[in-house]
Amino acid sequence: MQQVCILGATGSIGESTLDVISRHPDLYSVFALTTNTRVEKLVAQAKICRPKFLVVADPEKYLQAKQLASDAGLDAEILSGPKALAEVAAHTQTDIVMAAIVGAAGLQPTLAAVKSSKRVLLANKESLVMSGELFMQAVRDHNAILLPVDSEHNAIFQSLPLDYQYGDLDSAGISKILLTGSGGPFLRTPMDELNLVTPEQACAHPNWDMGRKISVDSATMMNKGLEYIEARWLFGLQCDDIQVVLHPQSVIHSMVQYRDGSVIAQMGNPDMRTPIAHCLAFPNRIEAGVSPLDFSSLADFTFAQPDFARYPNLRVAIQACKEGQSATTCLNAANEIAVEAFLNSQIEYTDIVRVNEQTLAQIESRPLNEIEHVLALDVEARVIAKNIVNRIS
Ligand code: NDP
């Protein structure tokens, strides 16, 4: 029986993880659930899966969580504050950590899981965008098992040879990693109407049901840019090894092209329970509750090159990836501030890229040799991005 700690349990990935786990009571039991503020949902989840720990990151919600848990007759220990997230992730009784907190807040607890040599199921791509080199070094130093939940990276992982060695594309006969993306809800919106789109429209992804931040990132294709950076670190790639391919149907989740002309793809209905189940059970396969692909109903299967005029954030992210770690750390911070400002209707959709570009332009590249350097740069970039938002809005 594997004990699972779900960081970000109340989010979209957290819920899907609980769904998969509930199908396999003989294999997995929930050790800890965490949330930021949604304590009612946390307690409702805990009533079903009976974890030993509940963590509420926002200390102001602690008393409410304690009361709700007591009313529900739960005997779970309730902890609060960001440090408690790392404590449950690194706990000796935790076997598997689902890293599904959104944004930079996910970095430290995920790193704590890595440093405790856990099996880490990585959904929080921001960890690698902010600190890829340090993070991957920690994975190697502590013999952690890192498995990619992001559907594209999970697809690449499934399409690589099983004995693929970190960064050695040549020996594996690989010529390209093809990262697919749907293009989001504004694939065909007239360009001169993009400044008018609303947060609700941006969050209405045609194929995937996700949290609000990643939904906006999918609309701008910043998500693909973050995934480009994530793929570079996860698989030890050079930036030019990766090519982004538009595939609006989201049936192929990514591909690996080999030297001999073969292309190996992973396909499936767009449902995160597939990569979650794959990571939970790897190298075995378990039931995920996902309906099988029905090829008779797949009307279209199309591919195209992304247009950087429509998706300038993708261009900015690829450029940042080429510049290095400090650029990607700044970009991640600026983008979180910009997306939040857009979701709060402070800035327009087309301002997101302005905030990102202007923040990057104001910060000089520097070496980031310690995680503290990464966190300090993250704070600095947020201050600059907030000033830019205030100027624009
Ligand atoms: P959601 O917004 O749905 O959920 C985020 C979770 O993180 C919630 O539990 C939230 O708590 C918690 N959280 C937010 N801020 C903090 C904080 N400061 N401290 C502690 N916990 C916090 O996000 P998703 O589930 O969509 O995404 C989670 C991660 O997975 C992201 O990194 C995303 O990029 C990645 N991902 C998501 C995919 C998807 O399909 N959704 C696909 C691939 C990757 P609360 O409920 O209280 O807000």
206 pLDDT band, cuts 50/70/90, is: confident
Six-digit token string for 106: 């996910």
Tens digit of each residue's pLDDT (9 = 90 or more) over 100-147: 999 999 999 999 999 999 999 999 999 999 999 999 999 999 999 999
Q: What pLDDT sits at residue 210?
A: 86
In percent, the amount of the chain with pLDDT more than 90 equals: 96
Averaged pLDDT, 331-338? 98
SS (H, E, C) 171-211: HHCEEEEEEEECCCCCCCCCHHHHHHCCHHHHHCCCCCCCC
Report how far residue 269's alpha carbon sits from residue 155's, in angstroms, rounded to the nearest whole number. 12
Ligand 1 atom nearest to 10, measured from its CA:
9
Ligand 1 atom nearest to 41, measured from its CA:
46
Averaged pLDDT, 290-303? 91
pTM of the model: 0.96
Ligand 1: residues with CB < 6 A are: 8-14, 35-38, 57, 100-102, 105, 123-126, 150, 208, 210-211, 213-214, 272
Q: What pLDDT sits at residue 279?
A: 98
- Residue 181's DSSP bridge partners are 246
Q: What pLDDT sits at residue 208?
A: 79
Report how far residue 307's alpha carbon sits from residue 77's, in angstroms, rounded to the nearest whole number. 50
Q: What is the overall mean pLDDT for the chain?
A: 96
Spatial CB neighbours of 271, under 8 Å, sequence gap ≥ 6 = 16, 288, 290, 291
Q: What pLDDT sits at residue 320?
A: 98
pLDDT above 90 (res 297): no
User: What residue type is 86 in one-letter code?
Assistant: A
Alpha carbon of residue 354 to chain centroid: 23
Six-digit token string for 161: 């040879």
Which pairs with CB-CB distance under 8 Å and at least 24 residues apart come from 195-202?
195/348, 195/349, 195/350, 196/348, 196/349, 197/349, 199/342, 199/343, 199/345, 202/342, 202/349
Q: What pLDDT sits at residue 94?
A: 98
Q: What pLDDT sits at residue 209?
A: 81
CA of 347 to the centre of ligand 1 (A): 22
Question: To 5 degrees, how large is the angle CA 126–CA 246–CA 358?
Answer: 45
CB contact at 8 A, 240 and 179: no
Spatial CB neighbours of 374, under 8 Å, sequence gap ≥ 6 = 107, 130, 131, 134, 325, 329, 368
Report how far residue 17's alpha carbon sits from residue 6's, in angstroms, rounded to the nearest whole number. 8
Q: Taking the CA atoms of 220, 223, 224 and 228 in sequence, report the sign of the dihedral they define.
A: positive
Spatial CB neighbours of 87, under 8 Å, sequence gap ≥ 6 = 55, 79, 112
Alpha carbon of residue 58 to chain centroid: 21
CA of 36 to the centre of ligand 1 (A): 9
DSSP string, 109-165: HHHHHHHTT-EEEE--THHHHHHHHHHHHHHHHTT-EEEE-SHHHHHHHHHS-TT--
300 pLDDT band, cuts 50/70/90, is: confident
pLDDT above 90 (res 298): no
77 three-class SS? strand
CA of 262 to the centre of ligand 1 (A): 36
pLDDT above 90 (res 62): yes
Averaged pLDDT, 161-181? 95
Tens digit of each residue's pLDDT (9 = 90 or more) over 232-259: 999 999 999 999 999 999 999 999 999 9
Q: What pLDDT sits at residue 207?
A: 83
Report how far residue 221's alpha carbon sits from residue 229's, in angstroms, rounded to the nearest whole number. 13
Tens digit of each residue's pLDDT (9 = 90 or more) over 19-42: 999 999 999 999 999 999 999 999
Q: Which of 84-93, 203-212, 336-345 has the lowest mean pLDDT?
A: 203-212
SS (H, E, C) 376-387: HHHHHHHHHHHH
Q: What pLDDT sits at residue 42?
A: 98
Q: What pLDDT sits at residue 81?
A: 94
Pocket test for ligand 1, best of 130, 214, 217, 228 (most atoms within 8 A of CB): 214
Ligand 1 atom nearest to 123, measured from its CA:
30
Ligand 1 atom nearest to 209, measured from its CA:
40
State the pairing for strand pair 252-258/174-181: antiparallel
- Residue 121's DSSP bridge partners are 98, 147
State the pairing for strand pair 2-7/53-56: unpaired
CB contact at 8 A, 305 and 245: yes
Nearest Cα residue to atom 40 of ligand 1: 210
Pocket test for ligand 1, best of 64, 180, 210 (most atoms within 8 A of CB): 210
